[in-house]
Amino acid sequence: MIPGGLAGLFFDQRFGVLTYTPVLICALVGLVVMVRERALRRLGLELLFVIVPYLLAVTHFAMWWGGTSAPGRFFVPILLAMAIPAAVGWSAIRHRATRVSLSAPPTPRTTSAL
């Protein structure tokens, strides 16, 4: 149940948070960098201490109805806390092409009438 909820929360084509904000990948990489670096390890573990239980709780229930809801609506309370790992991940990027691809806007979606 939880793996399916995480996959839907991040990768769903219509309501997944990564399809609308690919720069969030930078924040996830930043969390890894924070845990690996000694100077930032404590802050990274503290963020994970808050983020992981929250994500486990919200992805346990299958609540995937569409309508006018926001993409990744259950991940929104965590987005502000992800600003710190995003800054760490952004500063860890060495290639310009990687930064350009992370800052590119998502491709527009077309809706077809059935």
Mind giving me the DSSP string for 67-100?
TTPPTTTTTHHHHTTTHHHHHHHHHH---HHHHH
Walk along the chain (114 residues) in steps of 10 and give the mean pLDDT of each run.
74 73 84 94 95 84 60 79 91 84 66 54
Q: How many domains does the chain have?
A: 1
Crossing angle (nearest 10°) for helices 2-11 and 41-58: 110
Q: Which amino acid is at 36?
A: R
Per-residue pLDDT at 76? 80
In a domain, 91, yes or no: yes
Residues 6 or more apart whose Cβ sits within 8 Å of residue 60: 1, 2, 5
Angstrom CA distances, 24 to 28, 66, 111, stand at 6, 22, 25
In a domain, 32, yes or no: yes
Per-residue pLDDT at 97? 84
Per-residue pLDDT at 65? 57
Question: Is the Cβ–Cβ distance between 53 and 60 less than 8 Å?
Answer: no
Per-residue pLDDT at 111? 56
pTM of the model: 0.72
In a domain, 35, yes or no: yes
Domain ranges, residue 71: 2-103
Name the token pair of 2: 């939880």
